Amino acid sequence: DAGVIQSPRHEVTEMGQEVTLRCKPISGHDYLFWYRQTMMRGLELLIYFNNNVPIDDSGMPEDRFSAKMPNASFSTLKIQPSEPRDSAVYFCASSTTTGEQFFGPGTRLTVL
Amino acid sequence: EDKVVQSPLSLVVHEGDTVTLNCSYEVTNFRSLLWYKQEKKAPTFLFMLTSSGIEKKSGRLSSILDKKELFSILNITATQTGDSAVYLCAVLHLTGNQFYFGTGTSLTVIP
């Protein structure tokens, strides 16, 4: 298996633009997580899905952030409009019900 | 409020030293505690601990969980420069697979 796949690996955009991050979880994993990591705040859970259904989105910073999982093999995290304080590394991770999470390589987002 | 606290925040040692990293938690409905190593990329899984008192070992790394005192330690013996990384502790909730991450311990191993 190729592991968790994220795209793009790097994204540079200007304030106010829409940003879409993509994730393909490991096949057979029924949980998918979106995290954000910054030097100041460390690793933060934004939202997670179970069987494509959002379970807890309490970590989503505000209405500018939204996430979808239309099927078991694809999820998106969208920021609209983006702001400089959204600059961070965004990780996607997937797991089975046993709990061990496998992380994707991350998307480094820079909002100018 | 559920939380995971790691100590020390950072550590600098010489090659060959032994280090002990600490993780304490206050999480209701605890299921498991996991350790990850993060270099300049995504976290990679090291150990999952569910039962108290049972040591998990992988090469020079070992870890143990104390569910009564609500903490875990990660030991690294005969450290090497390749062990330099941030070590993250995370607690898995009993329901829903939610994780609570600590802020990590930054380990630097000097040749």
Instruction: Give B-chain residues touching A43 at CB under 8 angstroms.
Output: 43, 88, 101, 104
- Given a cut of 90, is residue B95 above it in pLDDT? no
| Beta-carbon pairs below 8 A across chains A and B | 49
Q: Which pLDDT does position B14 carry in this prediction?
A: 97
Round to whole Å and give the CA distance between A73 and A84: 30
Confidence of residue B96 (pLDDT cuts 50, 70, 90): low
Using a CB-CB distance cutoff of 8 angstroms, which residues of chain B are in contact with residue A97? 97
How do residues B16-70 score in pLDDT, each as one tens digit? 999 999 999 998 888 899 999 999 889 998 999 998 888 999 999 999 999 999 9
Name the least confident of A11-15, A52-56, B95-99, B103-107: B95-99
The DSSP result for B9-67, as a single string, is SEEEEETT--EEEEEEEE-SSEEEEEEEEESSSS-EEEEEE-STT--EEETTEEEEEET
User: How many angstroms away from the CA of A26 is the closest CA of chain B?
Assistant: 15
d(CA A76, CA A97): 21
- Given this model, what pLDDT does residue B72 score? 97
- Distance from CA of residue A28 to its chain's centroid? 18
Phi and psi based region of residue A70 (left: phi greater than 0; alpha: psi -120 to 50; beta: remaining): alpha
**What percentage of chain B reaches a pLDDT higher than 90?**
74
Interface-testing mutation among A43, A56, A58, A60, with chain B (most B C-beta atoms within 10 A): A43
Mean pLDDT by 10 residues, chain A (112 residues): 91 97 96 92 89 88 93 97 96 87 95 96
For B65-89, write each residue's pLDDT tens digit.
Answer: 999 999 999 999 999 999 999 999 9
Say which residues have a Cβ less than 8 Å from residue B55's Cβ, sequence separation at least 6: B62, B63, B64
Question: Which chain B residues are Cβ-neighbours of A33 within 8 angstroms?
Answer: 99
